[in-house]
Amino acid sequence: MRLYGLKTCDTCRKALKLLSDAEFIDVRSEGVPDIVLSQAFADFGDALLNTRSTTWRGLDEEQRARAPIELLKAHPTLMKRPLIEKDGALSLGWSPETRSKLGVS
């Protein structure tokens, strides 16, 4: 199991606490592999892009108009977190639905 997120993100820390066997990948320093990013965008669409983040607010209109995949590659902190990969399936966020899907409470 892999958890893509930020080490400074409270939600990612909560998820890691309950998913102690997960491999943590800091998207700021390591990024997200292209294949995972493509699959995540196919699964979640625009929901993958966190438009409430400080990074998003710092972008101008021209940058915001870029394709979401391009934006996420250029600014990995724009990704909604955490993105969890388990057995080839992806989960986004740390909702009760995600926790149930992963078998944690």
| Residues taking part in catalysis | 9
Q: Where are the alpha helices (DSSP H) in 1-105?
A: 10-18, 34-44, 54-57, 61-64, 68-74, 96-102
Q: Residue 85 is encoded by which pair of tokens?
A: 């990969």
Tell which residue, 56, 51, 49, has the closest CA to residue 72: 49
Contacts of 20-24 spanning 24+ positions with Cβ under 8 A: 22/84
